[in-house]
Amino acid sequence: MAMQAHPVPEVRVLDAAENAVPLLLGELREVVARNARPLVSFATGGTFAAFFRSLDAELRSGQIDGSGFVGTHLDEYIAFEPNRRGGMVHELTLRCPALRDMLARGSFLPVPCHGAEGSLRAHEERLARAGGIKLQFLGIGRNGHVAFNEPGASFEAGFHVTELAETTRADAAPTFVPDEPPRRAVTSGIGTILDADRVVLCAFGRGKAEAVKAMLQADVSHSCPASALRSHPNALVLLDPEAASSLDAAADVAS
């Protein structure tokens, strides 16, 4: 059943996906400047690969102080410990080795990968003790998922175990060859995501165009979990021209 629509987030269409990198670094610098050791939650996946390369360089050069914030992330495959190939923490620290150093120091908080209810609630308490998420980076799946909140997901849930949609598994498959991609994962719920002070979502490429349109211009609905972001008062969506190609021309979008 469709929910009542809300005003869309701020939307910017960039000339190219790589132009998002300085904006994302700027978001991180700003939250660090405004808060004492803010909690920053990262999204994984190819959308943020260029950002993580640049972030690693800035952390290693000291242009961004790694001791100035606490890191975490959105989700993890069931039974994928931080050093297991293909897992979210493993992939994240491959792209940004400086985050591995934060993990070793205890200033990066990994999502518990075994899915026990007690561990999920304990993780939520750790995030709360760290001050709550001040900045949440997000991607969007081809089916409109955010984190691993697949179509039909609750808009109120916290961290929970979920079954992965076949489109999600297909997109992840190249990482796991010759093995099958995982079927289950622990994910931050949409309720947790919406509790973040600031949300920045990136979507690049024509393959994301229909999901972006559903997120921004269709009804707010559980069929497109990302559409829940339209209720967030401080959200930014960064698109390249291909990801924005299905949006109505009359949309309130900045270039």
Backbone angles phi, psi at 127, to 5 degrees: -65, -40
Q: Which of 56, 91, 150, 242 is catalytic?
A: 150
Q: Which of 56, 58, 75, 171 is catalytic?
A: 75
**Is a pLDDT exceeding 50 seen at residue 2?**
no
Q: Tell me what pLDDT residue 45 has.
A: 84
Q: Which of 90, 145, 160, 222 is catalytic?
A: 145
Q: Using one digit for the tens of pLDDT, what is the confidence trace for 202-239? A: 999 999 999 999 999 999 999 999 999 999 999 999 99
27 among known catalytic residues = no
41, 225, 51, 111 alpha-carbon torsion, rounded to 10°: 30
Residues with Cβ within 8 Å of 169's Cβ and at least 6 positions away in sequence, in order, are 181, 182, 183
Q: Which of 76, 143, 160, 222 is catalytic?
A: 143
Q: Using one digit for the tens of pLDDT, what is the confidence trace for 65-103? A: 999 999 999 999 999 999 999 999 999 999 999 999 999
150 among known catalytic residues = yes
Q: Using one digit for the tens of pLDDT, what is the confidence trace for 137-162? A: 999 999 999 999 999 999 999 999 99
Distance separating alpha carbons of residues 21 and 204, to the nearest angstrom: 12
CB neighbour class for 146 (10 Å; exposed up to 12, middle 13-18, buried from 19): buried
90 among known catalytic residues = no
145 among known catalytic residues = yes
